[in-house]
Amino acid sequence: MLLQNKQIAIVGGGPGGLTLARLLKQTGASVTVYERDRNRHERVQGGTLDLHDESGLAALRAAGLLDEFKARYRPGADKLRLTDEHATVVLDEHAASATFGDAAFRPEIDRGPLRDILLDSLATDTVVWDSQLASMQPVGAGWQLTFRSGATATADIVIGADGANSRIRPLLTPSRPFYSGVTVVEGTVYDAAHNAPRIHELLQGGKIFALADAKTLVVSAKGDGSLNFYTGCKTAETWARDSGINFSDAAQVRAWFRQAFAGWDDIWQELFAHETTHCVARPQYCMPLDQTWPAQPNLTLLGDAAHLMPPYAGEGVNMAMLDALELSNCLTSEAFRSVQAAIAHYETQMRERASAVAGDTMAQTEALHAPGALAYLAGLFSGDETTG
């Protein structure tokens, strides 16, 4: 077995890193996950995630966690309403029915419960909290990891699952992501039934995509009664910094939204009506579609660290979990004579797959922030891609 007597370090305890830990632990591998959060409850996990049968759900099946997922997912949260800027519904999926086993079924789960499923599947000492990586240096045939807390660790193999700002990626490649042209402003409204009642009613526990004026607004209901939203606008790469907006100040964000989304129905003002609404501006980036690097004998990447892309195709978490499944399969396969050969095979197929998805995602991002986006997306969901 390639991993016999080897200590594996996974840097990053998101869905991809935790899925990989679970899959490798099932084979008896020695795995430790290093996560920057101080504990599992430190951060409120973000919005909802839709898992796809061929990727996210496939990884959960292999991990033996599909039953736990079925007990925790949110039926109906995948249902979409597509609207114009006046909140007029032009497509409604709430009458449609699909279930597990249907290739098109994409069940939704909040990030927090998904993380809990994965964490609860691991021994309590698998994840070392408060471990934000500061640096990493070769030591012998392996690596020494140094964390901001001052702690250190060694490992024979390191997998970077540390997201968009990965500190491990530069050890493999100097290539950097490029700006997609779109900046998202993301926020959460707590107790949506009370604080955003009209939007809460329009959501019906699912999702809203509102498109007009080459702008997007995506709203998702969450299981705790809150809603998560993000706007999408074409801006300069440095707009969030240059705008002078304090995105923690609901009044400033509300003033920006009224100007940027002038002509949109006042229903959307509910998103910014309360001082508890905290927003973050996120310029959207994408890794180069033609990226490559030579395979190393003891180091690789998965998820956003490997192939960051905008969220508009809903592939991010699914790609990360599929990375975990494929990397686990390669590292535990008898078909490879060395860890480097297993990593090389994984990275080749991962980059090819990610490049195709990133290309589609960038095309989708452009189409959704262009004139005629509403008709385009309505056609896409109805199966008539020539619409618009």
Q: How far apart are CA 232 and CA 213, in angstroms?
A: 11
Match 């994840």 to its residue by tokens: 127
Number of domains in the chain: 2
Three-class SS state of 106 = coil
- Over range 114-136, report the average pLDDT: 97
210 and 280 share one domain? yes
Residue 78: exposure state from Cβ atoms within 10 A (0-12, 13-18, ≥19): buried
User: What share of the chain has pLDDT > 90, as a percent?
Assistant: 90
Quick check: 276 pLDDT over 90?
A: no
218 and 245 share one domain? yes
40 and 150 share one domain? yes
Tell me which residue range forms the domain holding 305: 7-50+111-176+289-368
pLDDT by residue (tens digit) across 71-124?
999 999 999 999 999 999 999 999 888 888 887 899 999 999 999 999 999 999
Q: How many CB atoms lie within 10 A of CB 144?
A: 14
Q: From 261, 286, 311, give the residue that closes a domain.
A: 286
273 and 308 share one domain? no
Q: 168: domain CATH number?
A: 3.50.50.60
Three-class SS state of 194 = helix
pLDDT-wise least confident of 60-69, 161-170, 285-294, 313-322 = 313-322
Match 């809603």 to its residue by tokens: 227
Q: How far apart are CA 59 and CA 52, in angstroms?
A: 10
241 marked as part of a ligand binding site: no
Quick check: 24 pLDDT over 90?
A: yes
pLDDT by residue (tens digit) across 224-266?
999 999 999 999 999 999 999 999 999 999 999 999 999 999 9
198 and 162 share one domain? no
**Residue 44: predicted pLDDT:** 61
pLDDT-wise least confident of 34-48, 104-118, 342-356, 369-383 = 34-48
Q: Would you say residue 36 lies in a domain? A: yes
61 marked as part of a ligand binding site: no
**Residue 384: predicted pLDDT:** 60
30 and 124 share one domain? yes
Three-class SS state of 7 = strand
106 marked as part of a ligand binding site: no
Q: How far apart are CA 122 and CA 20, in angstroms?
A: 11
102 marked as part of a ligand binding site: no
**Residue 386: predicted pLDDT:** 44
Q: 235: domain CATH number?
A: 3.30.9.30
Q: In what order do the strands lie in the sheet with 227-234?
A: 89-92, 80-83, 207-212, 215-221, 227-234, 178-189, 278-286
Q: Would you say residue 388 lies in a domain? A: no
Quick check: 388 pLDDT over 80?
A: no
pLDDT-wise least confident of 253-257, 311-315, 374-378 = 311-315
237 and 339 share one domain? no
Which segments of the chain does DSSP mark as H helices, in order?
A: 15-26, 56-62, 66-72, 111-120, 192-195, 197-203, 239-242, 250-260, 304-307, 316-331, 339-368, 373-382
Q: From 286, 305, 324, give the residue that closes a domain.
A: 286
The model's confidence at residue 387, banded by pLDDT at 50, 70 and 90, is very low
Q: Would you say residue 94 lies in a domain? A: no
**Residue 98: predicted pLDDT:** 85
298 and 275 share one domain? no
Three-class SS state of 143 = strand
128 and 272 share one domain? no
